Amino acid sequence: MTLTFRSATDLAQDLHTGRLTAETLMQATLERIAKVNPTVNAIVSMADPDALMAEARAADAAGLQGPLAGLPIAIKDLANAKGFPTSQGSPIFAGSVAEKDDIMVARLRAAGAIVIGKTNTPEFGLGSHTFNPVHGATKNPYDQSRSCGGSSGGAAVALATGMLAIADGSDMMGSLRNPAAWNNVYGFRPSWSRVPSEAIGDNFLHQLSTLGPMARTPADIALLLDVMSGPDPRQPHGAVAKPVCPLTPADLRGKKIGWLGDWGGALPFEPGILDLSRAALAQMEEAGAIVEDMAPPFPLEKIWESWISLRSWSVSTGLAPLAARRADLKDSAIWELERGLALSAMEVHRASVIRSEWFLRAAALFDDYDALVLPAAQAWPFPVDEPWKAEIDGQPMDTYHRWMEVVVPASLLGLPALAMPAGFGEAGLPMGLQIIGRRGADADILSLGAAWHEMTDWPGQRPALA
């Protein structure tokens, strides 16, 4: 197997035992990036190659001891990595060089990872389609005329094309799950508060977005997740989480899976997605899982009502300092800003009451099911020059993000959700499932994903890029 397509777990083992050097891996990584990245535009703000080679040689000389020692990684361009620009895809911040690492990046470096650059993201991470006026669009490696999803689109494409073995991302509304599905890799949204973000501004109220890992195998997801995880004493939330690595594949026999499908007809899907999802579930049944069709457990319109209020409230707090520069903001950012600023305290409270009601109902579901399953997206990758999906199977979308409503039930509650490849459609484009567990069941969900990976290894079907 080509070195850059090997798993991070295997690479780390060879680095630790001396069968591989960080210098050799860095050289192979830089060669792969030079060959592929001009086509897909996934990695941006690259460090100087000579400096990276020197850093790899220094890591070899110091001894490769950390869990990620010697592994190259590029950081999603919403997080700060000291010495690298953090544009957030916005002209407002283009060229702004980070003076320090965010806590997540500091943990990656402390574990021995070598930061080589940034991965592309939509402007401010808004919208599940990776394009921005600073770095341009990232293209789907399975069809460069199509979107790669987002907002962790650059990370997913870098994994799918063998430019990285592991990647960080973040997820508010499917940003680790949609690009994983559209690029035939894995993306994991961990239980909320397992992976801390920066202790900036309010640290009590907003519980929608989280950082998380992406990789080509669930075992590699576990490797990275353990490094990212752990409480930050500066923040009120976050308990000590048990390690998930090394990951043992679950025995699917007797596992009870609840299939939520199209939520009783409330969710529109493009043709082929539900059929592909059901075919994947049939494979799980063949392995001994018990799959049951579920009636809608909670009104989806109430979940959406709660979601768009709490999301706009959260997003607008970050955008509020930029209100005077509206001319430099894209339309979706302005929409979120204006909605959030217009919300009253009681409207936010009502939205959170709905969230609480849905949480209680979901908690009861997990008394009966080991996991719940939904498709990871409602549409196939759309043309890269379209800003967002305006309709699904003839049904108009009333917001720039309604086409990703399928990810909201897990996001609203902070549940762990693994996006895992489910195969390809008639046009040769990838699609995925999201497998969801109760809060704190990260290890169980990843173990189910590991069992699925042993059965299928969909990421082994790589894009045909030079």
Q: Distance between CA 413 and CA 301 in Å, rounded?
A: 15
In Å, what is the CA distance from 451 to each residue of 178, 251, 298, 433, 447?
21, 7, 29, 14, 6
Token pair 């979120």: residue: 336
Is 197 known to be catalytic?
no
Strand, helix or coil for residue 372: strand
Any idea which residue has 């042993």 for tokens?
A: 454
Pairwise CA distance, residues 355 & 417, whole Å: 17
Asked about 175 being catalytic, the answer comes back as yes
Residue 343: partners with Cβ closer than 8 Å, 6 or more residues away: 309, 312, 313
Catalytic hit among 175, 197, 209, 277: 175
CA distances from 34 to 81, 147, 208 (A): 22, 21, 36
* Single-letter amino acid code for the residue at 48: D
> What is the C-alpha separation between 303 and 306, in angstroms, rounded?
5
Q: Which two tokens stand for residue 309?
A: 């209020």
266: number of Cβ within 10 Å: 14
Catalytic residue among 7, 45, 76, 447: 76
Read off φ and ψ for residue 171, nearest 5 degrees: -150, 115
- Find all residues with CB under 8 Å of 219, minimum gap 6, and list them: 7, 9, 245, 246, 247, 450, 453
The question of whether 118 is a catalytic residue gets the answer no
Contacts of 266 (CB under 8 A, 6+ apart): 296, 300, 301
Phi, psi of 391 (to 5 degrees): -155, 155
Q: What distance separates the 2 farthest-apart alpha carbons in the chain?
A: 61
Q: At what angle do helices 22-40 and 8-17 cross, to 10 degrees?
A: 150
C-alpha span between 29 and 36 (Å, rounded)? 11
Question: Which residue among the candidates 7, 87, 147, 151 is catalytic per the annotation?
Answer: 151
Q: Positive or negative CA dihedral for 192, 183, 25, 17?
A: positive
- CA atoms of 221 and 171, how far apart (whole Å): 15
CA-CA distance, 255 to 125, in Å (whole number)? 36
Q: Where in the sequence numbering do the catalytic residues fall?
A: 76, 151, 175
